[in-house]
Amino acid sequence: MADLDRVLVLAGGMSPEHEVSVRSGRRVAESLRRLDVEVQIADVDSALLGTLAADPPQVVFPALHGASGEDGATAEVLELSAVPYVGAPPAACRAAFAKPVAKALVAERGIAVPRGVVLPKSAFHDLGAPALLERIVATLGLPLFVKPDQGGSAFGATAVDTPEALSSALVSCFAYGDRALIEERVEGTEIAVGVLDLGDGPFDLPPVEIVPDGGVYDYTARYTPGRTEFFCPARLSEAAARAAAEAALTAHRALGLRDYSRTDLIVDGAGTVRFLEVNVAPGMTETSTFPMAVEAAELDFARVCRDLAFNAYNRRR
């Protein structure tokens, strides 16, 4: 560990998740500093390449959420700059960031997923929105959940209970992307399962049960203290807990992820675990589930951050 003394944390970015990323980056930086690691924080902007070339850090710890942070672009830049970094390689980021792609790859491994369709904004114009909306409801039924096919923090995501609400949900969705993922809404227990790899292979963290006060885990519920109640470990049967852990590990491996990830799942009344999506750069804020799970596993969050950075440093060495 003595060889690691200077880390660059990337936080901010240009996505709608900028503020969340800033908070995640601040927590990672403060945690590393408590272990006497010198930390700089930088944004992803026109100065980044110059900074990496003029004064390369030992390791970069991206705490970026959303486009450019989780879609593989930043990882590609760091690869081009030959700088070690924490997190998944570019191709894995791209696969995980595209929710329908991740869903298909995980389903191929035998993990249950909600039924759904992916449609571009143009389809509703070209084929006639009323007829297409009617066909979606007739095929998938109600209730539904609509979200952009890329992105996170629940931006543009809406629960739909009536046929009339589907149209407005799509308008909200298309404000954040050109393609909508429309899925059957499975009722049950919403959980997040973190996966961590500190050098000896990936292992699952305790599942976190998510109970938002308004019933929907939207942006406000995610990042406003007190708006969501969390249970860690989640209140699941032993069989459901095992299935959830296996689903998260399967997603991590199927997508080629590295270091850490967080998989969002729902467990229905029969105990069936369904995959919703996976995140290559889990939130690290005070209301984020990944740090909760780390602490529930009786691991020190600061040491986990340092170990992740140290392992990334050793990969390039």
Q: Which positions are annotated as active-site residues?
A: 17, 153, 288
User: What residues form DSSP beta bridges with 85?
Assistant: 60
- Asked whether the bond before 233 is cis by omega within 30 degrees of 0, the reply is yes
Q: Is 250 helix (H, G, I), strand (E, B) or coil?
A: helix
Please indicate if the annotation marks 314 as binding a ligand. Answer: no
Asked if residues 168 and 157 have their Cβ atoms less than 8 Å apart, the reply is no
How far apart are the C-alpha atoms of 285 and 207, rounded to whole Å?
A: 17
Nearest residue to 275 via CA among 296, 316, 246, 297: 246
Nearest residue to 305 via CA among 271, 282, 276: 282
How far apart are the C-alpha atoms of 61 and 31, rounded to whole Å?
A: 12
Please indicate if the annotation marks 36 as binding a ligand. Answer: no
Asked if residues 48 and 58 have their Cβ atoms less than 8 Å apart, the reply is no
Please indicate if the annotation marks 76 as binding a ligand. Answer: no
Residues at the binding site for Mg(2+) are: 264, 277, 279
